[in-house]
Structure 1
Amino acid sequence: MSNIVITGANQGIGYYFMEQALKDGNKVAVLDVDTESLERLAQLFPNKLFYYKADVCDEMQIRIAIADIIKKFQRIDIAIHNACLCTFGKETTTDFNIYERSFDVNYYGALRLVKSVLPYMQAQKYGKVIFTSSGVGVTGFIGISPYASTKGALEALAKCLNLEYASVGVTFHIIHPPLTRTKSAEPLPVPKEFMADPQKVGYGLAKHITSKRFIICHGFVQKIQTIACYLFPIKMGKLMSKMTLRYINSEK
């Protein structure tokens, strides 16, 4: 069984991932700015689930939480950065501060978590760090350039650090969930029936969390779709954007 730390698990994919991970016998510590959904699970899994009200934009809050988790768990096997900010709007209507805020949560939030857990993982000579990415970070997509840019940056960060820390037993990975019916995805002009169920995605990711592959998906179909995005990023980006625009125009 593993000791897992995850940011952004009060709802959506992260919540269901955490729930399944607990059912599988793992210990889980959650860092999130919102924690109201976690009390019920904490009662169901005493001494298995711990949660901390922590902002991934605040390095000190993360470091304090990680230090306390180490006291409780003795070690951290897996650290997952799942917290994210997704904004919507064309570049012409998106202020510079939106890009800065998106990177602060999505990219620098991941880097703060990395710098907090790596000293412990290096000392224990093993560990797994995972970033939640997105297909749009590979292909691009209309109207979400701040979000997509942060995911592309996370892809590069994971590849670089995977090379740098291979010799000490610490590996870096990317989670690629499909477009899912989460709160952050609600404003997207995409039919809800085209979006995946967050419970199915979260449960599936938890079942594959021990995978040694660089890219981790919740199921076979998503794996094939993700491979297609990597092989044909420009074509896939154009295809998805055209399909979305066609849907928007049909609703007018």
Structure 2
Amino acid sequence: MANIILTGGNQGIGYFMAEKFLQNGDCVAVLDLENDNLRELKKEYPGRLLDCICDMRDAGGVVETVNRIVASFQTIDIAIHNACRCTFDSMADTADEVYQEVFDVNYFGALRLSRAVLPYMRAQHCGRVVFTSSGVGVMGFANISPYASSKGAVEALAKCLSLEYEKEGITFHILHPPLTRTKSSAPFPFPAEYKADPRTVGYGLAENINGKGFVICHSFLQKVQMELCYLFSLRMGRFMSGKMAALSGREGNI
């Protein structure tokens, strides 16, 4: 049984990760701006799910919330930053403030969670910190540069902290889900049939959360696709951007 902190777990992939963790016997604390979808899970798993209203843009609030979780759980085995902000527009049509907003949640949220949990993990001499990334953060993509840039920064942060804390028994990892049918991806102009099922993705990530590798995926196929993205980043970005344009055009003609 593990004690897990998960940000962005009220819906989508995060919700199903939380559900699977609970099914596996873990204790889970979910940090999100809303908690309405977690009510039934709290009834089903009394005493093992904490639903914490927390804004990842508020550094003090994150620390206070983590302190309360530790007071309840005593230890933190895994901390996962899954909360995200995603926008869809060209750079020319995106204000600097939007880039700052996206980074505040996606990148600085990961940093704030790390700062809050690391003192406890260092005292334990063990722990896993996991950031949800995205293929677009590796290969690039058209008209999504705030989100993609923030995920690229998250990748670098995880690598740096992995090196800094490897001698203290603390490991850092990246989650790489595929394009999934979630609220945040709804504006993404790919046909719905090309988006993965959030339950399948969330359950798969939860089952693989203790994987030894730096990159954690929900399936073997997704792992292979991510290997290609890392090896041929710009080529894959061009290919996927072109595929999106072709599929979007075809969908518009139906």
Amino acid at match of 1:169: G
- 1:19 is aligned to 19
- 1:84 is aligned to 84
1:126 is aligned to 2:129: no
CA deviations over 1:87-130 (Å, ceiling 9, x no partner): 00011100110000000000001100000000000001000000
The whole-number CA distance in structure 2 between the counterparts of 1:109 and 1:217 is: 21
The whole-number CA distance in structure 2 between the counterparts of 1:197 and 1:39 is: 22
Aligned-pair CA distance for 1:82: 0.1
The whole-number CA distance in structure 2 between the counterparts of 1:90 and 1:156 is: 24
Aligned-pair CA distance for 1:39: 1.2
The whole-number CA distance in structure 1 between the counterparts of 2:24 and 2:161 is: 29
1:198 is aligned to 2:208: no
Q: Tell me the TM-score normalized by structure 1.
A: 0.99
What secondary structure, in the 3-state scheme, does the structure 1 residue paired with 2:174 have?
strand
Contact residue 180 and residue 198 of structure 2 kept, 8 A: yes
What secondary structure, in the 3-state scheme, does the structure 1 residue paired with 2:149 have?
helix
1:115 is aligned to 2:139: no
The whole-number CA distance in structure 1 between the counterparts of 2:5 and 2:51 is: 9
The whole-number CA distance in structure 1 between the counterparts of 2:200 and 2:249 is: 30
Aligned-pair CA distance for 1:60: 1.2
Amino acid at match of 2:84: C
The whole-number CA distance in structure 1 between the counterparts of 2:52 and 2:60 is: 13
The whole-number CA distance in structure 1 between the counterparts of 2:248 and 2:15 is: 30
What secondary structure, in the 3-state scheme, does the structure 1 residue paired with 2:88 have?
coil
Report sequence identity in percent. Answer: 54
1:231 is aligned to 2:246: no
Aligned-pair CA distance for 1:175: 0.2
Contact residue 191 and residue 248 of structure 2 kept, 8 A: no
After superposition, the CA RMSD in angstroms is 0.7
CA deviations over 1:116-153 (Å, ceiling 9, x no partner): 00000000100000000000000000110000000000
CA deviations over 1:196-250 (Å, ceiling 9, x no partner): 0000000011111111110000011101101010011011000000111122333
The whole-number CA distance in structure 2 between the counterparts of 1:209 and 1:234 is: 28
1:164 is aligned to 2:161: no
The whole-number CA distance in structure 2 between the counterparts of 1:109 and 1:65 is: 13
CA deviations over 1:26-60 (Å, ceiling 9, x no partner): 00001000111111101110111001100000011
What secondary structure, in the 3-state scheme, does the structure 2 residue paired with 1:103 have?
helix
Q: Tell me the TM-score normalized by structure 2.
A: 0.98
The whole-number CA distance in structure 2 between the counterparts of 1:27 and 1:246 is: 44
1:135 is aligned to 2:135: yes
1:1-252 counterparts in 2 under 5 A?
A: 1-250=1-250, 251=252
The whole-number CA distance in structure 2 between the counterparts of 1:83 and 1:13 is: 10
Amino acid at match of 2:93: T
The whole-number CA distance in structure 1 between the counterparts of 2:23 and 2:64 is: 27
Amino acid at match of 1:106: N
What secondary structure, in the 3-state scheme, does the structure 2 residue paired with 1:38 have?
helix
Aligned-pair CA distance for 1:23: 0.2
The whole-number CA distance in structure 2 between the counterparts of 1:4 and 1:223 is: 24
Amino acid at match of 2:151: K
The whole-number CA distance in structure 1 between the counterparts of 2:40 and 2:63 is: 26
CA deviations over 1:137-191 (Å, ceiling 9, x no partner): 0000011000000000000000000000001001000000000000000001101
Amino acid at match of 2:8: G
The whole-number CA distance in structure 2 between the counterparts of 1:221 and 1:104 is: 31
Amino acid at match of 1:192: A
